[in-house]
């Protein structure tokens, strides 16, 4: 089970949890929010590990019987709430796994801790059932709700929980992590860090994913040859990526970063400011052929394509309009 040292960034959450464990001023309910891959579960597990450690304090010792139990996933006072239906956490899940068991005192520790992953999947009835427990919790009860979407929760739940939001990690820290821990070459690490947009989980996925490598190669080919290719050929290339389960929004992000580099280099002529440094020659060539107004139109077209796709406009039409702008500018 992860300790705080295994979570990159999120120092504000680590500080809060360490202080709570050290002082004994432990909230009965917390909501950790943030994208998948930002470390919510690892933070919750590390906090639980600290609270259950027999020695107490801001950091778990890692040596006591309790620490060994949490590491093995067998501590009786640490409960991971599960749900049979993939798309929802129902009222019965909350009643059976939380309400009916939280009244039983901890078996060995000072706390009884519940971790509810994907808590945004709780139905309204499930949230109302949980609310009764949060309103009158036993002194030893701690409930940690992990979510990607705060907006789904009832206001009464939000008002009774400490809210802790995961923050993006810097590109610099993400790049250093990839280089130090995964031994990714610097130029590639910079691309993965930029593409991850502050999400270390995504950065690691990109660095270790064959699917991303395929997308990288095809997107570079498209962007280098977009002026010479027919619209139908361009759409077919993107369709091939989609058939390989590549997210179309990832393709848009890739294009945005590429043209951001083009514009940056056109303004500064500083290769060190580029993300795609190894594509310097191609980007320099595009700079010579495209004006500032044209590059702004391309970046706007990418944003418009994203808006249209979010509005469920026909995908081929949304992409065709974007690609036409790229070809013309």
Per residue in 207-262, pLDDT tens? 998 888 888 889 999 999 988 888 888 888 888 888 888 888 888 999 999 999 99
Q: List strands edge to edge, sheet with 141-147.
A: 78-80, 112-116, 141-147, 29-33, 162-165
On whether the CB atoms of residues 164 and 30 are closer than 8 A, the answer is: yes
301's CB contacts (< 8 A; 6+ apart) are 321, 322, 325, 326
Angular region, 141: left φ>0, alpha ψ -120 to 50, beta rest: beta
Segment 189-195 mean pLDDT:
90
On average, the pLDDT of the chain sits at 91
Cα separation, 159 vs 148, in Å, equals 18
At 10, phi and psi to the nearest 5? 55, 40
Cα separation, 84 vs 152, in Å, equals 20
Cα separation, 250 vs 55, in Å, equals 46
Segment 61-99, tens digit of pLDDT: 888 999 899 989 899 999 999 998 989 999 999 999 999
Nearest Cα residue to 328 out of 298, 288, 286? 298
Structure tokens at 205: 């996925």
Q: How many CA atoms lie within 13 A of 191 on its CB side?
A: 21
Query: Burial, 173: exposed, middle or buried (Cβ in 10 Å; 0-12, 13-18, 19+)?
Result: middle
Three-state secondary structure string covering 113-153: EEEECCHHHECHHHHHHHHHHHHCCCCCEEEEEEECCHHHC
Query: Burial, 234: exposed, middle or buried (Cβ in 10 Å; 0-12, 13-18, 19+)?
Result: buried
Segment 50-58 mean pLDDT:
87
pLDDT at res. 149: 93
Q: Is 12 helix (H, G, I), strand (E, B) or coil?
A: helix
pTM: 0.83
pLDDT at res. 135: 92
The CATH class of 209-328 is mainly alpha
Sign of CA dihedral 225, 229, 231, 236: negative
Where does the pLDDT of residue 26 fall: very low under 50, low under 70, confident under 90, or very high at 90 and above?
very high
Cα separation, 229 vs 187, in Å, equals 28
The domain 4-165 is placed in CATH, from the list 3.40.50.300, 3.30.470.10, 3.40.50.970, 1.20.140.10, at 3.40.50.300
Cα separation, 147 vs 133, in Å, equals 19
Segment 131-135 mean pLDDT:
93
Range 147-165 burial, b when 16+ CB lie within 10 A, else e: bbebeebeeebeebbeebe
Segment 258-279, tens digit of pLDDT: 999 999 998 888 888 888 888 8
pLDDT at res. 176: 94
Q: Where are the domains of the chain?
A: 4-165, 209-328
pLDDT at res. 2: 64
43's CB contacts (< 8 A; 6+ apart) are 4, 7, 10, 13, 14, 17, 32, 166
Where does the pLDDT of residue 7 fall: very low under 50, low under 70, confident under 90, or very high at 90 and above?
confident
Cα separation, 93 vs 89, in Å, equals 6
Cα separation, 305 vs 299, in Å, equals 10
């Amino acid at each position: 089970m992860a300790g705080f040292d295994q979570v990159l960034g999120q120092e504000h959450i680590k500080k809060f949890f360490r202080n709570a464990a050290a002082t004994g001023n432990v909230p009965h309910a917390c909501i950790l929010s943030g994208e998948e891959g930002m470390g919510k579960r690892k933070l919750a597990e590390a906090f639980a590990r600290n609270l259950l450690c027999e020695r107490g304090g801001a950091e778990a010792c890692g040596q006591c019987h309790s620490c060994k139990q949490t590491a093995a996933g067998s501590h009786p006072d640490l409960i991971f709430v599960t749900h049979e239906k993939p798309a929802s956490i129902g009222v019965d899940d909350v009643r059976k796994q939380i309400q009916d068991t939280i009244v039983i005192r901890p078996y060995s520790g000072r706390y009884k801790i519940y971790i509810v992953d994907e808590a945004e999947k709780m139905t309204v009835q499930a949230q109302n059932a949980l609310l009764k427990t949060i309103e009158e919790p036993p002194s030893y009860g701690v409930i940690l709700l992990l979510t990607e979407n705060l907006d789904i929760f009832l206001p009464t739940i939000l008002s009774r929980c400490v809210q802790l939001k995961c923050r993006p990690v810097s590109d610099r820290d993400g790049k250093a992590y990839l280089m130090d821990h995964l031994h990714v070459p610097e130029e590639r690490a910079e691309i993965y860090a930029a593409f991850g947009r502050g999400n270390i989980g995504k950065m690691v996925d990109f660095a270790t994913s064959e699917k991303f490598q395929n997308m990288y190669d095809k997107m570079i080919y498209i962007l280098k040859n977009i002026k010479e290719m027919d619209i139908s050929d361009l759409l077919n290339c993107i369709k091939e990526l989609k058939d390989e389960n590549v997210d179309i929004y990832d393709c848009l992000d890739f294009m945005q970063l590429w043209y951001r580099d083009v514009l940056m280099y056109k303004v500064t002529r500083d290769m060190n400011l580029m993300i795609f440094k190894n594509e310097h020659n191609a980007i320099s060539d595009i700079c010579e052929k495209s004006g500032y107004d044209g590059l702004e139109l391309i970046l706007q077209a990418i944003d418009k394509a994203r808006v249209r796709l979010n509005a469920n406009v026909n995908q081929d039409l949304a992409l065709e309009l974007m690609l036409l702008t790229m070809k013309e500018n």
